[in-house]
Amino acid sequence: MPAYKAPLREIKFVMDELLDMPAHYASIPAYADVATPDMVDAIINEGAKFCENVLSPLNRVGDIEGCTRHEDGSVTTPTGFKEAYKQFVEGGWPSLAHEVDHGGQGLPESLGIVMSEMVGSSNWSWGMYPGLSHGAMNTIELHGTDEQKHIYLSKLVSGEWTGTMCLTESHCGSDLGILKTKAEPNADGSYAITGSKIFISAGEHDMADNIVHIVLARLPGAPEGTKGISLFIVPKFLPNEDGTPGERNSLICGSIEHKMGIHGNATCVMNFDGAKGWLIGPENKGLNCMFTFMNTARIGTALQGSTAAEASYQGALAYAKDRLAMRSLTGPKAPEKAADPIIVHPDVRRMLLTQKAFAEGGRALVYLTAQQNDIVKKSEDEEARKAADEMLGFLTPIAKAFLTEVGYEATNLGVQVFGGHGFIAEWGMEQLVRDTKIACIYEGTTGIQALDLLGRKVLMTQGASLRNFTKLVHKFCQAEEANAELAHLVKPLAELNKEWGDLTMKIGMAAMKNREEVGSASVDYLMYSGYVTLAYLWAQMAKVAQEALANGTSEEDYYKAKLATAKFYFARVLPRTKAHAASMLAGADTVMDLEEAHFAF
């Protein structure tokens, strides 16, 4: 298993040099006094130690042991998981970015994302236990009554209890409109929840005293479809008056799924058999309530892509420096050894640099969205909030789908760098592949994100959200127009930025005649958007590096590496936009012509 080393220099680069988080925090009164540079540094350094020393060694344990469900429905997590969680709670990590009102530390979510990144790279499966709590906390914080907040929020914030989101049923995931779980009113104002939910991450486990399920269900006589879904709080143990967990609720983990990966996380079938629950938010508005924090949940999943790329890159890089095979085509590089380390070979370097470009570019994109989220939540400038909200909405499907797709690619390259050993479990490289595939699926598949981007975010705003983003890119390109050293980045970026608008226009026109054009083009459009967005970030990172070198620095090699990676990304990865551009314009008939009955004979 590759031992995780928190990439602190890289984190600092994006935080301080690319996004100027210190100024950002200082500009938001809610953060100015708490998220001071010293505090931020201390938290990241402490977090790094926890992830390197506690979580990383448990990653393979989780994969091997998985979770065990006992006959009574209880679930034991892998060896060490519970103890690590205890340390995590004692360290105050769950409360980092939550409201002071409920026991939180009131630090920015963007700082929480840095910790989530380190947790995710070192042990994604473990990170899902505290990670899933965020959905429950967000739901209660935004839509709960004061009483609900009082009972549940402080326990979730402290990490004493964890939470889940119970959405999916066996017959529906992407299409929640057809879910069947029922909620029938009890005399005491509560509801009796009955139904079966599947794919419930962290649905049952032995880490916390109580588990707070947020369940989507239908009230009697509710309208059909998405407009008849309500949200309920359904705790595993009904809270006593004094806040302690009381009577066991009638819900149970029916089984644990056998999955491709994330074995360390208990993915449960949760059976609710008249379980006691309380309505949260307005009747029949459950999906709307959930949309209010969809962006943050999806950014949390986007992170899985870039964290997996980072973890796989770390493993592959170490191996490529160590493993000997053949000689460089330009003559031996390690003549004293039986063969050269494989990092001398151009194709191995191509794979490593692809991983590196996705890991570092992905970090930049995730942090950028997290910065926008800070502004949405806490800025006192309404215009800024509005602009950030729009950018966040626009970037979220891109970050979620694109980063998980390329993150998955990066994990596969990691296996490939290892050759046959990559296929062997002990090395841990194949686990990263297996763990990461789900990121392209949960929280809305790549296809769903693509429809969200092209249909909802771009076309339904008549392109406004895209234009506002491309304006930023344009501004950057204009400012650097005369920068000869970066011309190999800025020029193609400006061209792609223009083409992005042109392609959107063409698809929009075609879609007016035939609605299928949207679905036909959507995934190519999303991937195209992802490559261009990452190009924008890489160009900006190159600019930062160029300035640092011009100003004189003791870290010349570091900044030169940034320039080399930017160059690689533009020359070797970005040309994929050509394929996506051609494919998205090919027309819906390319996929719709074939009749359903004629797909096979």
What residues numbered 191-210 form the site for its own copies, per CB under 8 A? 198-199
Residues in the chain: 601
Q: What angle do CA 491, 496, 500 make, to 5 degrees?
A: 155
Among 374, 390, 430, 452, binds its own copies (CB under 8 A): 430
Among 104-112, 139-147, 258-266, 462-470, the segment contacting its own copies (CB under 8 A): 258-266
Contact 573, 530 (CB under 8 A): no
Among 124-132, 146-154, 327-335, 395-403, the segment contacting its own copies (CB under 8 A): 327-335
Among 22, 106, 246, 587, binds its own copies (CB under 8 A): 587
> Is 415 among the residues that bind its own copies (CB under 8 A)?
yes
Among 416, 461, 468, 483, binds its own copies (CB under 8 A): 416
**Minimum CB distance to its own copies, residue 101 (Å):** 35
Closest CA to 262 of 417, 129, 355, 173: 129
Closest CA to 239 of 130, 182, 164, 160: 160
> Is 420 among the residues that bind its own copies (CB under 8 A)?
yes
Among 285, 349, 467, 491, binds its own copies (CB under 8 A): 349
d(CA 231, CA 140): 10
Residues 149-168 that bind its own copies (CB under 8 A): 168
CA distances from 250 to 2, 182, 237, 571 (A): 42, 14, 9, 58
> Is 512 among the residues that bind its own copies (CB under 8 A)?
no
Annotated catalytic residue, options 141, 169, 443, 480? 443
Contacts 24+ apart (CB under 8 A), 561-565: 562/13, 565/353, 565/356, 565/357, 565/360, 565/538
Among 45-53, 236-244, 317-325, 538-546, the segment contacting its own copies (CB under 8 A): 317-325
> Is 257 among the residues that bind its own copies (CB under 8 A)?
yes
> Is 169 among the residues that bind its own copies (CB under 8 A)?
no
**Minimum CB distance to its own copies, residue 315 (Å):** 12
CA 131 centroid distance within chain? 11
> Is 520 among the residues that bind its own copies (CB under 8 A)?
yes
Residues 440-459 that bind its own copies (CB under 8 A): 440-442, 445-447, 450-451
Among 32, 425, 479, 505, binds its own copies (CB under 8 A): 425
Pairing state between β 267-280 and 191-201: antiparallel
Residues 553-582 that bind its own copies (CB under 8 A): 555, 557-558, 560-561, 564-565, 567-568, 571-573, 575-582
d(CA 457, CA 448): 12
**Minimum CB distance to its own copies, residue 26 (Å):** 27
Among 32, 487, 509, 586, binds its own copies (CB under 8 A): 586
**Minimum CB distance to its own copies, residue 305 (Å):** 14
Nearer to its own copies, 260 or 505 (CB): 260
Helix (H, G, I), strand (E, B) or coil at 256: strand
The neighbour count for residue 230, using CB atoms within 10 Å, is: 23
Pairing state between β 161-166 and 210-217: parallel
DSSP string across 287-321: HHHHHTTHHHHHHHHHHHHHHHHHHHHHHHHHHHH
Among 353, 406, 532, 539, binds its own copies (CB under 8 A): 353
d(CA 601, CA 598): 7
**Minimum CB distance to its own copies, residue 444 (Å):** 10
Catalytic, 443? Answer yes
CA within 13 Å, CB half, 328: 13
Rg (CA), the chain: 24
> Is 598 among the residues that bind its own copies (CB under 8 A)?
yes
What x-and-dash track marks residues 1-20 binding its own copies by CB under 8 A?
------x-xx----------
Q: How many residues of this chain interact with its own copies, rule: CB under 8 A? A: 110
The DSSP bridge partners found for residue 278 are 233
Nearer to its own copies, 272 or 427 (CB): 427
**Minimum CB distance to its own copies, residue 438 (Å):** 5
> Is 419 among the residues that bind its own copies (CB under 8 A)?
yes
The DSSP bridge partners found for residue 272 are 195, 251
Catalytic residue annotation: 443
